[in-house]
Structure formats: structure tokens, C-alpha cells
Structure 1
Amino acid sequence: MIDTAVLLAAGEGSRLRTSAPYKPLCGVAGRPLIAHALEGLAEAGFARAIVTVSYGREAIEAYLGSRHWPLVVETVLADHREPNGVSVLAARDALDGGEAILAMCDHLVSPELYARMAKAGAGGGLRLGIDRRLGHDWVDPEDVTCVATEGDRIVAIGKGLEPHDCYDTGVFAIGPALSDALATLASPSLTEGVRLLAAQGLARIVDCSDIDWIDVDDAPALAKAEAWMATKADAVAA
């Protein structure tokens, strides 16, 4: 089972700037998003996290260095001015040909989602955790990446995609094939990398519709995330 994660934390997070200067350090229920991600990965059984950093690098690395984490945490430098596939490529050497879970720092995710994807593996290409709960109140229809599938294969992916039958949760199981595909692109976005593998029949899905997650990308999503965490805390207290 996969025990290494790549956590993308390099972006500017401009839509959350009123809540935090750097998105990975934006607090939800008293903890930064990056802490939720790293602790969730550890809870799911991961031993190592490779965090890609760029915008706000010094502040993020200072925070990471100020705490003892329940898994090994290392950082690699990406470039927030480039598409997010550049962040995936930044972790390539650190992965040394191995499989990993790829996750987004700004996605608040139940640890079960990480664990399910680790168990599934990359399958020689990639697998994407998807959610078939179309129209879910936590999903921003203008921002979510949509996916069209046939069986367990991805046939199309993109924002505003029509028709689509599920959402991209932002959690992948990846192998070297994704980095190889991204390296062929002049402007390597993750979505374009998935499309290249999909054209080869190497991009598949894992249904995670029973597991909660939310992309904390703006103030309304942050409010929903806070409400979710409060509900979870109340359930634990009960």
C-alpha cells in the first residue's frame, strides 16, 4: 500500500487572502489547512509527505518546522506562477519512481479518502477519487473540476465540462506515468496530464462518493468547512 503523499501547497490562494495571507496557513476549526492535511494523512497510515511550496514559502516552511508531525515532512520548491503540473514535477526526484497519493492542501478531506486511494494504487497510470453527488451544496459549480467516465475509465475532465457524471475530489493515486506525461507539456497542468493518460486508457477512478471533502477556496467554502468541522466536533462530544 502507498505510504507517501505529495501535498500541493504552492499556490497564491488569492480568493482566501482576506482570511489568511497564505492559503495553507488558513485556519479551519483552529488549525491551518496544512495541519488538517498532514494529520489526516498520518491518520490514514502515511509515513511521509512531500509538500510543494512556492508562494509564502518562508512562512509555510517556518510553520512546518515549528511542529513535530506524526509523519516525515519534507518540502520541495515549485513555482506558483506556473500551472499546477509543475508542482507535481517538482516532487518527481523525491518520489524516485515510486507511487504516491497526490492531494491538494486546500482540500479538507476525511482521512478515509486518503486511505482508500492508497489501497487502490495508481494501476500503472493514475487513479482519481471521484464523487458522484452532483449538485452537492459543498461544491462550487463554477470552480469544481468535472469528470466524465465510462465504467472505471476517465474519458474527459475539466472545469465547466458538459456532460459530466462526477466531480474530482483532488485526491489521486499516481505513478511515474503522470510525471512522464506532464514532462511532455510546454505548460503542464494536472488536468492536461490526466487527459494524456486518459487517452491511453491509463486514467481510472475510485468512487469516493460516501466520503466527505470540501475545496476551501474562498470565504463561502471556508464557512461551510467551519460548519462541517463543528458538526464533527459535536458528534465526537456526544
Structure 2
Amino acid sequence: MITTAVLLAAGEGSRLRAAAASKPLCPVGGKPLIEHAITGFAAAGLARVVVVLGYEAEKIEAHLASRSWPIAVETVRTPDYKQPNGVSVLAAEATLAGGEAVLAMCDHLVDPALYARVAQAGAGDGARLAIDRNIESDLVDLDDVTAVRTQGDAIVGIGKHLPDYDCFDTGVFAIGPGLFAALNGLASPSLTEGMRVLAAAGTALTIDCSDLAWIDVDDPAALGKAEDWLRAA
């Protein structure tokens, strides 16, 4: 089982600026998004998280240092938070020393059981993406979600506004050396492009997590849905 997580928390989060100056510190259900993620990793049985920071890094580092956490928390900084998110993933590569990790997004609220399922599945020869086949879900923003097309457990298409898809990208991956190699080979690396490289090689795999809840808290409308979801839980 994978025991380390990588949490991407580097972006500006401009669409949530009205709720919080820093998206990772945006409160949802009385607790900042970054705390939901870290405590979720701990509940899933992970022992360590590497948080990748960029925008408002000092403020987030201070917040992390002020808390006592149930797992080991480390931080690294992306060289340029305005670059595609693959650059932020690569910032954590050295900390993994060739090992695997559960990769997640700080602005996603996720049932810890989803993290645990991905940690158990592992990355295989490339990477494995947790998918949601509930394509009619009212928790998903169709204008923003990354759509996925599969054949069996293999990814054959991935991207925003994909015309033909059968599931959604939940933002949680099992990653390892295969994905880092793909990202290092791209001039402007994004996670989606890295997964397309692996898909072409047949090593971009999926794990079905349609039975587990998640929501991308990317704008005020999604924040309101997330608050309602937590109250109903």
C-alpha cells in the first residue's frame, strides 16, 4: 500500500477569492480545505503528505506549522505556480525518491475511503486515476471537470470538454516514476498531457470510485454545494 500523499496547493484560486485570499485556507464546513485533505489522508491510513505550494506559500506554511497533524507534513514549492499543474507535480518528484504516491488536489473534498482505495491499487507501470462514472451528478461542473473515456480499465481519452466520455476525473491519482518520466518529457507539462502520454503507451489506468463522494470546490457555487454536502453527511 502507498503510504505517501502529494497534495497540490500551489494555484491562485482566483474564482474563490471572494471567500478566501488563499484557496487552501478557504473554510468549508468550518475547516480550511487543506485541513480536510490532510486529515482525510490520515483517515485513509497514509503516513506522510508532501504539500506543493506556490501562491501565498508563506501564509500556508505558517498555518501548517501552527497545527499538530496526525501524519507527517512536508512542504515544497513549485518553481512557478502560474505554469501548468504538471510543474507542481514535478516539484515533489525528489521527495518520493522513486517511490509511489497518492496525488490529490487541495480544492477537492474527498471521502477518505477514496484515497485508501487508490493507495491500495497503486500506480502500475504508469499512473492510475480514480474515476466517477456518475456522469449525471449535480455535484460536477461540466464546464470545468476533466472528462475521461475508457476501454476496460485503460484511459483512451482525457480532457476538458471531451465530446465522447464515460466518466469523470476525480482529481485523485496513484503516481510513480512512469508519470514523472512522461511529465519530464513535456515542454509545458500538465497532468492531463502526462496522462495522454501514458494512455498512448497503455499505462494510464483507472480505478472505479463511483460509489465514493467527492466535489471540486473551485468557485462560489461549488462552495455552496460543498457546504450543503458536509451538512448532510
TM-score (norm 2): 0.99
Partner residue, 1:164: 165
> In 1, Cα distance between the equivalents of 2:177 and 2:55?
26
SS in 1 for 2:172: strand
Partner residue, 1:52: 52
1:162, distance to aligned residue in structure 2 (A): 1.2
Partner residue, 1:32: 32
Amino acid corresponding to residue 155 of structure 1 in structure 2:
V
Asked if 1:16 is matched to 2:16, the reply is yes
Amino acid corresponding to residue 230 of structure 1 in structure 2:
R
RMSD over aligned Cα, in angstroms?
Answer: 0.4
Partner residue, 1:70: 70
1:220, distance to aligned residue in structure 2 (A): 0.4
Partner residue, 2:112: 111
> In 2, Cα distance between the equivalents of 1:221 and 1:173?
25
Partner residue, 2:180: 179
1:135, distance to aligned residue in structure 2 (A): 1.9
> In 2, Cα distance between the equivalents of 1:156 and 1:76?
31
Partner residue, 1:89: 90
1:158, distance to aligned residue in structure 2 (A): 0.1
Q: Deviations for 1:53-103, whole angstroms, at most 9, x for unmatched residues?
A: 000101100000000100000001102111000011000000000000000
> In 2, Cα distance between the equivalents of 1:185 and 1:76?
21
Correspondences of 1:124-143 after superposition (within 5 Å) = 124-143=125-144
1:230, distance to aligned residue in structure 2 (A): 0.6
SS in 2 for 1:156: strand
Give the count of matched residue pairs: 232
> In 2, Cα distance between the equivalents of 1:123 and 1:93?
19
Asked if 1:4 is matched to 2:14, the reply is no
Partner residue, 1:236: none
1:226, distance to aligned residue in structure 2 (A): 0.3
TM-score (norm 1): 0.97
> In 2, Cα distance between the equivalents of 1:82 and 1:165?
29
Can you give the 5+ residue segments of structure 2 that lack an aligned partner in the other structure? Answer: none
> In 1, Cα distance between the equivalents of 2:56 and 2:216?
20
Partner residue, 2:218: 217
Can you give the 5+ residue segments of structure 1 that lack an aligned partner in the other structure? Answer: 233-238
> In 2, Cα distance between the equivalents of 1:198 and 1:128?
11
> In 1, Cα distance between the equivalents of 2:77 and 2:34?
16
> In 2, Cα distance between the equivalents of 1:144 and 1:64?
28
1:20, distance to aligned residue in structure 2 (A): 0.2
> In 2, Cα distance between the equivalents of 1:157 and 1:145?
7
Q: What is the percentage of aligned positions where both structures have the same residue? A: 64
Q: Deviations for 1:9-60, whole angstroms, at most 9, x for unmatched residues?
A: 0000000000000000000010000000000000000100000000010110
